[in-house]
Amino acid sequence: MLSVEDVRSGYGRIEALHGVSINIAAGEIVTLLGANGAGKTTLIRAICGVQPISAGRIRFENRQLEDLPAHARVALGIAQVPEGRQVFAPLSVEDNLKLGAWTRRDANLVAELASIYELFPMLAANRHISAGMLSGGQQQMLAIGRALMAKPRLLLLDEPSMGLAPILVEQILDVVRGLKQAGLTVLLVEQNARAALAIADRGYVVETGRIATSGSAAQLLADDRVQAAYLGV
């Protein structure tokens, strides 16, 4: 469904991705593991088109993405839940969700909103409150809900558990698992490697801008190096 081939990208003269290739098949949950600064967020941003790439190819469902602006990629079916949630603070919860469906102007928003509120009931209770007033966990759910309003086929999640209480992390990972059952393909970046591998089918380990190793979730859980570096065994 998504294939990233030999992508290079950087900030100014400092290269952050030195030729990264990953593949994601439809219906999978794939996770990117790696330390801070390894390049996971850069890769996700490059897929969305908000981070320029200097070389390589990105293909989504047989369409080349490199030359498409970010907003056109959303219309193709790629949505991102960015790191740090990035909700529209001055707008209400409901307006945030409505803007999530920006690329689908003809959509029946009433039904869509209802399904998001069903997924995250606490958003329904706060629908008229400005998003900046929500707690971190609520903002994370709003960010996920907003991305889902775009009806994506590929969902990119960047550190959804960052700064959240364990019970909320559990809740959010449950939601991701449910989305997979509903047919969504997910690329999950997560510092909490154990939690990520628990729901993922496959994973890639990113180290200093390169793919260090990859394999099924079970293989990675059993890998000595992964255990030592990311699972704290």
Partner 1 sequence: MPEFLQFAFSGLTVGAVYALVALGFTPIYNASDVINFAQGEFVMLGGMTTVFLGLAGVPLPLAACLAVVVTVAVGLALHRFAIEPARGASAVALIMITIGASIFLRGAAQVVFDKRFHSLPPWIGGDAIRVGGATILPQSLVVLGGAVVIVVLLWAFIERTLIGKAMVATAANELAARLVGIDTRRIVGLSFAISAAIGAVAGILISPITLTSYDVGTLLALKGFAAAMLGGIGSAVGAVVGGLLLGLLEAFAAGYVSSQYKDAVAFLVILIVLLAIPRGLFGRASVERV
CB-wise, 101 or 221, nearer to partner 1?
Answer: 101
Q: Mark out the alpha helices in the chain (DSSP H runs).
A: 40-48, 70-76, 93-100, 109-119, 121-125, 136-148, 166-181, 193-199, 217-222, 224-226
Residue with tokens 């364990």: 166
d(CA 165, CA 170): 9
Query: What three-state secondary structure class fits 153?
Result: coil
Instruction: Map the footprint of partner 1 across residues 87-106, applying CB under 8 A.
Output: 87-91, 95, 98-100, 102-103, 105
Is residue 86 at the binding interface for partner 1, with CB under 8 A as the rule?
yes
Number of Cβ within a 10 Å radius of residue 100: 27
Is residue 61 at the binding interface for partner 1, with CB under 8 A as the rule?
no
Is residue 165 at the binding interface for partner 1, with CB under 8 A as the rule?
no
Q: In this structure, are residues 10 and 33 in contact, taking their beta carbons and an 8 Å threshold?
A: no
Is residue 66 at the binding interface for partner 1, with CB under 8 A as the rule?
no
Among 69, 121, 183, 232, binds partner 1 (CB under 8 A): 69
Is residue 132 at the binding interface for partner 1, with CB under 8 A as the rule?
yes
Residues that bind partner 1 (CB under 8 A): 48-50, 69-71, 74-75, 79-80, 82, 86-91, 95, 98-100, 102-103, 105, 130, 132-136, 139, 146-147, 149-150
